[in-house]
Structure 1
Amino acid sequence: MISPMKFHRFDCQHPVVVVVMVVASLVASAPADAASLKLGDMCRLKGQEINTLQGLGLVVGLRGTGDNDAAPTARALSRMMQLMGGPMAVDSLGQLDIEDVAEAKNVAMVFVTAKIPAVGAQNGDLMDVTVNAINAKSLEGGYLMMTPLLGPRADNPTVYAIAQGSIRLSVDGAATSATIQGGAKMEATVPAAFHDDGIITLVLDGDFASFDNTQRIEDEINSLSALTLGDSGRFSGGGFSGSDRPRAQAIDQLHVQVEIPSLYRDSPIKFISLLLNLPIQLASHSSRVVINEREGIVVIGKDVEIAPVLVTHRSLRIEAGGVAGLVGVNDKANENDTAKLKNLADALNALDVPTSDLIAIIKTLKRKGDLYGEVVFQ
């Protein structure tokens, strides 16, 4: 089918009408093969997540930019000095008397964090630390005293790491935020689990999360009954059979559970390597329009169509789709013919129409219901 578009540009100063005919040849052809990605590029394994350790610490050695008249800081400093054997005064109730350190201006209470990578961490590993002031004006020149780092759950008092060291401000960052490279030493081993009782849970990245993709992954994995992992680390003929066959089930648009076959129960890493190298055919997004108005970018899928419409915009009059009177160009045209949006965009571009005008036209077509496809704004 050939879908014509007819364009008129009106010049306000001259009575001359310029007519530009754009004929888009829509020759039916076999659809192109869908793109494919390795499964490992689309998802991660549940249990392979970044974890955050956190704690409250004290930074000393500041240049008068610490916490002023902050009772929590004074109490923490008094307790720290007491634990280190410092002679601290107590009141009549036996509580620490913070009056001795209440005027300390070179000390600041800070919030300390460190991230455990998705692969886990071993006892003795060093990790970078981020330090953020709570009340201080600046952390420049400070030193973080020994600070225990706990896990993200407040009900678990386990100390996973100890942080300390000279802090460093970023060149263009705030003076109240700093880092310590390799400033946290792991005091416990935090393994990164990758299966639970023989079950692997795949978690799709946000860009790929959809019911269609999880169903495709389930189907691809369940079709491996006649395949196995060859010496090259890729799929080859061989055969899963019976209990050796992997079983996958899509749980929702984000998760797919996979049972490790009995053949690989003693070597799950080998099966995971096989699994993550499995090619997955991606769903086509050829019926989608993505618009970034701030950058002036429009990406149009090849299958986005528009209904037969007449659009008047500024100096343009646009007739798209089956239009009476163009039978000489397309003797099969009728009022129900559709046109491709990309052909309309190409024609507007040839007429030097700004991208902002194209975006305005697309918005109007979508609002009217004459654009057949998904429009995504970024």
Structure 2
Amino acid sequence: MVTAMIRRFLLSLAALAAAVAATLPGAAMAERVRDLGQFQGVRSNQLTGYGIVVGLPGTGDDNLEYLTQAMKGVSGRMGLTLPAGVAPNLKNAAAVMITADLPAFAKPGQRIDVTVSTIGKAKSLRGGALILSPLYGADGQVYAMAQGNLAVGGLGISGRDGSNLTVNIPTVGRIADGASVERAVATGFDNNPVLRWNLFDADFLTAARVRDAINTRLPGTATVEDGVTLALTLPLDPNTRASVMAAIEMINVDPAETPARVIVNSRTGTVVINSAVRLSPAAISHGKLTVRVDENPTVVQPAPFSRGQTAVEQNSTLTADEEKRSVAMFQGGASLSKVVDALNMLGVTPSDLVAILEALKQAGALKAEMVVI
């Protein structure tokens, strides 16, 4: 029984030590290589196309010129010639742009999802069907063909008095497995003796740590080319190469601590400060000055039987109030938690916080990058 109690005590002590270690500043958390970057060339490619959606219940583009031309072209391919000089009523059709992502290693015959969006005055794509349309890559080549019935999550209705009600976006639809891949994209996976792996965010220390972790597992495999790219010498046999790449992606690495950075969203007033932000010794006093102008005009009537005129006499009251705030003192190397506590004590708003952070940076007390989005 004593042995069991000792075992439970040791387990509790170990759990406490792990929890304390996790809260210490600068403690790095291991990440998988696949979460830090990706192999060059093993990525998706964007496809775009132009097409016609038909079968709409009167919510199309009407006599849009480029839609009319497109419909004449489609009709011509079907062996039907529309009368010259006559613009067809196309309220049941809409001109659309088609976008899709072609995954890495996609082969001819595989299916991919497509998104369809109106480019004219169509009110809704609900109930429509996309006519067969080619999807092009950045090189101008056709990589897929799209066609199918649209699934539209939005809804738009209108009344005879001109009132309208729109729920979500009815002018954008999606076709699951709506395009068939017709051409594969070369990735260099099968014929290049050296593959390159790129970090999502440039960092020399992280690149060096990834190189060391890979070489510890597979000696002589990785070399650093710059702060983003590692060159990996891998066997040419596809079977072996795939196994080595899978093993590399699952290696755990302790990435470098992120640079000190303050993110400010100017539209919403959101301010995010990461844990690497430190302050040099500084004192902050933040006050709020409120100026108020009250206008109380008075109507003045002339005396009876006089030739005077009714007039308005202006009466203005000006007041200025300044709130008294305490001074917050930061010691050298103050951490994020102390910065937040002090700013909360001052009772600052998000806009005030941005002004304080900018002033600290100008004073040289804030050693961090300010990013405004």
Where on the TM-score scale, by shorter chain, does this alignment land: which range? 0.5 to 0.7
> In the alignment, what sits opposite 1:366?
361
Equivalent position SS for 2:116: strand
Equivalent position SS for 1:217: helix
Instruction: State the alpha-carbon separation in 2 of the partners of residues 296 and 51 from structure 1.
Output: 33
Task: Please point out which of 116, 137, 140 is paired with 1:151.
Answer: 137
Is 1:348 matched up with 2:323?
A: no
Instruction: State the alpha-carbon separation in 1 of the partners of residues 271 and 67 from structure 2.
Output: 52
Task: Please point out which of 227, 236, 249 is paired with 2:224.
Answer: 249
Q: 1:123 to 1:298 in 2, by over 3 A?
A: closer
> In the alignment, what sits opposite 2:53?
59
Q: Deviations over 1:15-45 (max 9, x none)?
A: xxxxxxxxxxxxxxx9855332111111111
Q: 1:217 to 1:99 in 2, by over 3 A?
A: same
Is 1:135 matched up with 2:120?
A: yes
Contact 2:26 2:257 in 1 (8 A): no
Task: Please point out which of 31, 34, 39 is paired with 1:37.
Answer: 31
Q: TM-score, normalised by structure 1?
A: 0.66
> In the alignment, what sits opposite 1:102?
88
> In the alignment, what sits opposite 1:203?
198
How many Å apart are 1:302 and its aligned residue?
6.3
Instruction: State the alpha-carbon separation in 2 of the partners of residues 373 and 218 from structure 1.
Output: 28
> In the alignment, what sits opposite 1:49?
43
How many Å apart are 1:295 and its aligned residue?
6.0
Instruction: State the alpha-carbon separation in 2 of the partners of residues 76 and 267 from structure 1.
Output: 50
How many Å apart are 1:340 and its aligned residue?
1.6
> In the alignment, what sits opposite 1:111?
97
* Unaligned runs of at least 5 residues, structure 2: 1-23, 155-166, 288-324
Letter aligned with residue 240 of structure 2:
S
Contact 1:52 1:151 in 2 (8 A): yes
Q: 1:265 to 1:345 in 2, by over 3 A?
A: same
Q: TM-score, normalised by structure 2?
A: 0.67
What are the residue-to-residue correspondences of 1:165-176 with 2, within 5 Å? 165-171=148-154, 172-176=167-171
Q: 1:265 to 1:74 in 2, by over 3 A?
A: closer
Q: 1:163 to 1:278 in 2, by over 3 A?
A: same
Instruction: State the alpha-carbon separation in 2 of the partners of residues 182 and 131 from structure 1.
Output: 13
> In the alignment, what sits opposite 1:278?
251
Equivalent position SS for 2:180: strand
Instruction: State the alpha-carbon separation in 1 of the partners of residues 115 and 189 from structure 2.
Output: 28
Contact 2:206 2:256 in 1 (8 A): yes
Q: How many percent identity over aligned positions? A: 26
Greater relative contact order, per chain length (Cα 8 Å cut-off, separation 6+): 1
How many Å apart are 1:319 and its aligned residue?
4.1
Letter aligned with residue 248 of structure 1:
T
Q: Deviations over 1:308-332 (max 9, x none)?
A: x4433332124444xxxxxxxxxxx
Task: Please point out which of 66, 72, 78 is paired with 1:72.
Answer: 66
Contact 2:271 2:354 in 1 (8 A): no
Contact 2:264 2:372 in 1 (8 A): yes
Instruction: State the alpha-carbon separation in 1 of the partners of residues 191 and 270 from structure 2.
Output: 47
How many Å apart are 1:200 and its aligned residue?
1.2
Task: Please point out which of 316, 320, 325 is paired with 2:326.
Answer: 316
Equivalent position SS for 1:185: strand
Q: Deviations over 1:214-254 (max 9, x none)?
A: 34333444x43xx44xxxxxxxxxxx4xxxx2132223x33
Instruction: State the alpha-carbon separation in 1 of the partners of residues 333 and 232 from structure 2.
Output: 44
Contact 1:61 1:142 in 2 (8 A): yes
Letter aligned with residue 174 of structure 1:
I
Instruction: State the alpha-carbon separation in 1 of the partners of residues 64 and 264 from structure 2.
Output: 51
Contact 1:169 1:177 in 2 (8 A): yes
Which has the higher mean CA deviation after the structures are superposed, 264-273 or 362-371? Answer: 264-273
Q: Deviations over 1:277-334 (max 9, x none)?
A: 2222211248555566746555453672322x4433332124444xxxxxxxxxxxxx
Q: 1:99 to 1:213 in 2, by over 3 A?
A: same
Contact 2:190 2:238 in 1 (8 A): no
Q: 1:199 to 1:79 in 2, by over 3 A?
A: same
> In the alignment, what sits opposite 2:302?
none
> In the alignment, what sits opposite 1:26?
none
Q: Deviations over 1:171-215 (max 9, x none)?
A: 24433322222221223444655465111111222xx32333334
> In the alignment, what sits opposite 2:233?
259
Instruction: State the alpha-carbon separation in 1 of the partners of residues 87 and 277 from structure 2.
Output: 72
Is 1:163 matched up with 2:156?
A: no
How many residues align? The count is: 298
Task: Please point out which of 193, 210, 213 is paired with 1:217.
Answer: 210
> In the alignment, what sits opposite 2:308?
none
* Unaligned runs of at least 5 residues, structure 1: 1-29, 90-96, 229-239, 322-337
Q: 1:189 to 1:290 in 2, by over 3 A?
A: closer
